[in-house]
């Protein structure tokens, strides 16, 4: 029965988040997220294909732009400030699989969770990955394809795998 309910939730979610990014549909998407426990600000934009799972422990500010195919996992907690751009296919991951010690089996080893915080006025480039426990500081830019494993200072520009500071916005 649980798998059936989860499947129905995912189907309903996919239908709602397939709608175009126009204000009435964006309001419906925000309302859906509020219904599963998220705190959502105003004037947020959700391109078709956004995947936010599960929505609990999610706090989104105002004027946030979620581009097509971005993924946000919220079980570890995700906070997103105001005026944030989240690029195409970017991933904000607050919960990930545990890597067991030794040669123990990975499947079924459990999960590790840690909060992700994206401060205000941040741009996360296309296909960037923000891992659990990371804070991206105010005014920072995360380059396309970067994998952010450590927190990013305010007004820094980071790039690479793993991401490192390549410049500071003056």
**6/24 Cα distance (integer angstroms):** 26
pLDDT mean over 80-89:
98
Question: What is the percent of the chain where pLDDT is above 70?
Answer: 100
Residue 1 in this model has a pLDDT that exceeds 90: no
Active site residue 97: yes
Residue 134 in this model has a pLDDT that exceeds 90: yes
- Catalytic hit among 97, 104, 150, 169: 97
Residue 4 in this model has a pLDDT that exceeds 90: no
What pTM was computed for the model? 0.93
Strand, coil or helix: 12 = helix
Residue 131 in this model has a pLDDT that exceeds 90: yes
Give the contacts of 114 (CB within 8 A, at least 6 positions apart). Answer: 76, 77, 94, 132, 133
- The C-alpha torsion from 21 through 126 and 147 to 164, rounded to 10°, is -120
Look up residue 68 and give its two tokens.
């097509």
Nearest to 142 by CA among 131, 126, 51, 94: 126
């Amino acid at each position: 029965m649980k798998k059936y309910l989860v499947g129905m939730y995912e189907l309903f979610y996919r239908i709602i988040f397939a709608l175009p990014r126009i204000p009435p549909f964006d309001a419906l998407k925000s309302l859906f997220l509020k219904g599963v426990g998220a705190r959502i600000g105003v004037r947020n934009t959700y391109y078709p294909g956004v995947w936010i799972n599960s929505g609990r422990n999610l706090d989104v500010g105002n004027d946030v732009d979620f581009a097509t195919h971005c993924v946000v996992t919220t079980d570890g907690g995700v906070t997103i400030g105001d005026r944030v751009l989240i690029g195409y296919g970017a991933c904000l991951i607050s919960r990930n699989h545990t890597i067991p010690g030794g040669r123990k089996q990975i499947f079924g080893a459990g999960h590790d969770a840690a909060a992700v915080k994206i401060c205000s006025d941040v741009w996360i480039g296309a296909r960037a990955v923000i891992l659990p426990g990371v804070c991206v500081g105010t005014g920072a830019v995360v380059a396309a394809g970067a994998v952010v494993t450590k927190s990013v200072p305010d007004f820094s520009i980071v790039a690479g795998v793993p991401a490192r500071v390549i410049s500071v916005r003056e």
